[in-house]
Structure 1
Amino acid sequence: MQLQVIQKKIYEIRGQKVMLDFDLAILYEVETRVLKQAVRRNLDIFPDDFMFQLNKKEWHELITNCDKLPVKIKHNPGTPLAFTEHGVTMLTNVLKSKKARQTSVAIVRAFIA
């Protein structure tokens, strides 16, 4: 997985580098719904400094300032989950696939590059 592709999906929100649930779902090759279900079943390993829900103002600002978001995502009535580097690492534990492990390594490299 190319480092630049991942880095383009990293945003700064609340002063933290994060990736959004729909981008992570694409990288992990799962549906966003499946990713969110796995997180909900394991909320105990996703404290606020690992993951948070964007509020409507943050989401609107991101939509307004970011041209690279998919159109169908922009019109979604809900707000996405944002995962810090640590939250991305924890996703590997809940998705439990070889693809998740490989993707997590690439994403961690992108966060620290």
Structure 2
Amino acid sequence: MAKNKDAALMPVEHISRSILVLRRQRVLLDRDLAEIYGVSTGRLNEAVKRNAARFPEDFMFQITEPELQNLRSQIAISSWGGRRYRPFVFTEYGAIQAANVLRSPRAIEMSLYVVRAFVQLREMLVSNKELAHRLDELERKLSTHDQAITGILKTIRELMHTPAPKKRPIGFTANLDE
């Protein structure tokens, strides 16, 4: 059973590396999704166009030219394989819908891994937010502790530098003030 679990984790990790963030959404490029589902990018896009009503803007969108230039600089590649148009990207829901439209056994099987990859990323983000919150709390506590320690050290220094007691003269002296 452990072997099967390890085999299931491999595609999820591979898919997770393909997920990008565009317009504050986690998305997969059409070429990456086509590769995952075992079809050509053209075949995927044809199936999507034939079923355009199933892909609203929150499921799939075409990236803009500035977004394309930004991706090219991030991924450090010079071209997108000679494509004539800007790529489409699929959100989690769009990726699942694409598997439904393709209807191939591989697409159906891999859609499970795609969902798991998106869920795994979501869980990582939640745990990172919790960690950031805990670090903020710790920083606030340290700040108040630093102030308290600084106050204690200041008090200790003041106690160390007590004024020298007044010296009384030796012998009999008459109090001239009276």
Name the structure 1 match of 2:39.
30
| Contact 1:19 1:83 survives alignment (8 Å) | yes
Query: Larger radius of gyration, structure 1 or 2?
Result: 2
Q: Does 1:13 align with 2:30?
A: no
User: What one-letter code is carried by the residue in structure 1 that aligns with 2:62?
Assistant: Q
Gaps of 5+ in 2: 1-9, 121-178
Name the SS for the 2:80 alignment partner. Answer: helix
Name the structure 2 match of 1:73.
80
Query: Greater strand share, 1 or 2?
Result: 1
- Inter-partner Cα distance in structure 2 for 1:87 and 1:30: 16
Larger RCO (CA within 8 A; separation ≥ 6): 1
- Inter-partner Cα distance in structure 1 for 2:113 and 2:99: 12
* TM-score, structure 1 as length reference: 0.91
- Inter-partner Cα distance in structure 1 for 2:115 and 2:22: 17
Counterpart of 1:91 (choices 93, 98, 101) is: 98
Name the structure 2 match of 1:39.
48
User: What one-letter code is carried by the residue in structure 2 that aligns with 1:83?
Assistant: F
Q: CA RMSD in A?
A: 1.5
| Contact 1:20 1:80 survives alignment (8 Å) | yes
Count how many residue pairs are aligned between Structure 1 and Structure 2: 111
Structure 1 ranges of 4+ moved more than 4 A: none
Return closer, same or farther for 1:42/1:32 CA change in 2, 3 Å cut-off: same
Name the structure 1 match of 2:119.
112
Gaps of 5+ in 1: none
User: What one-letter code is carried by the residue in structure 2 that aligns with 1:64?
Assistant: S
| 1:74 shift after superposition | 5.9
Return closer, same or farther for 1:56/1:72 CA change in 2, 3 Å cut-off: closer
Name the SS for the 2:27 alignment partner. Answer: strand
- Inter-partner Cα distance in structure 2 for 1:9 and 1:61: 16
* TM-score, structure 2 as length reference: 0.59
CA-to-partner distance for each residue in 1:41-86, whole Å, 9 max, x for gaps? Answer: 000000000000001110110110124x6x5526534210000000
